[in-house]
Amino acid sequence: MSRPKTLRKVVAPPNFKGYKPYGTHTGTKDSVELLYEEYEAIKLADYDLMNHLEASKLMGISRPTFARIYETARRKIAKAFVEAIEIKTVYGDALLDKHWYVCDDCQTRFTIPKTIEEHQCPMCKSEQIELLNT
């Protein structure tokens, strides 16, 4: 029996499907696959400027595991840069932090995917909605 993979909590998935170089002459079809958790590691460490301990706690993983994911992420990005190949983001072992809301007016429970802008109840359009912490 294979060991179940640990799911890494990803607070916010990337806002893109991938990155493509332009002005290259190689015309390669090669690409690197960047996992959601690898994207998150780069974001937390190099964009939000957290230290590895803080970042690992946020993702619900140990510090060494975080360091390993972060290192893999950097190497993939470096490879894509140097070899001028595409980066594709893939789901990986990420566990997305789902947010459930409840409507105060009709008790409907619902999620709000990032593709939806309005924060209102999908059934009654009420804006009296609350985030559930479950």
Partner 1 sequence: MKTVITSSGENNLAQFDKRFGRAAWFCVFDEETKQTIFIKNKNINSSNGAGTMAAEQIVSMNVQKVISGDFGPKAKDLLDKFNVQMVIIQDNDITVQGIIEKLTK
Scan for tokens 């996992």, then name that residue. 35
Cβ-contact 81, 31 below 8 angstroms: no
11 near Zn ion (CB under 5 A)? no
Sequence-distant (≥ 6) Cβ neighbours of residue 58 within 8 angstroms:
9, 11, 44, 50
Within 10 angstroms of residue 32's Cβ, the number of other Cβ atoms is 20
Fill in the per-residue mask, 65 to 94: x = in contact with partner 1 (CB under 8 A), - = not in contact.
--------------------------x---
For residue 52, CA distances in Å to 21, 36, 92, 120 come to: 29, 17, 20, 36
Interface residue with partner 1, options 24, 116, 130, 131 (CB under 8 A): 116
Tally the residues of the chain: 134
Interface residue with Zn ion, options 32, 44, 69, 121 (CB under 5 A): 121
17 near partner 1 (CB under 8 A)? no
CB of 126 to partner 1, least distance (A): 11
Whichever of 30 and 105 has its CB closer to Zn ion, that residue is 105
Partner whose binding site includes residue 126, from partner 1, Zn ion, none (CB under 5 to 8 Å by kind): Zn ion
Compute how many residues bind partner 1; rule: CB under 8 A: 18
The separation between the first and the last C-alpha atoms of the chain, rounded to the nearest angstrom, is 31
Partner whose binding site includes residue 111, from partner 1, Zn ion, none (CB under 5 to 8 Å by kind): partner 1
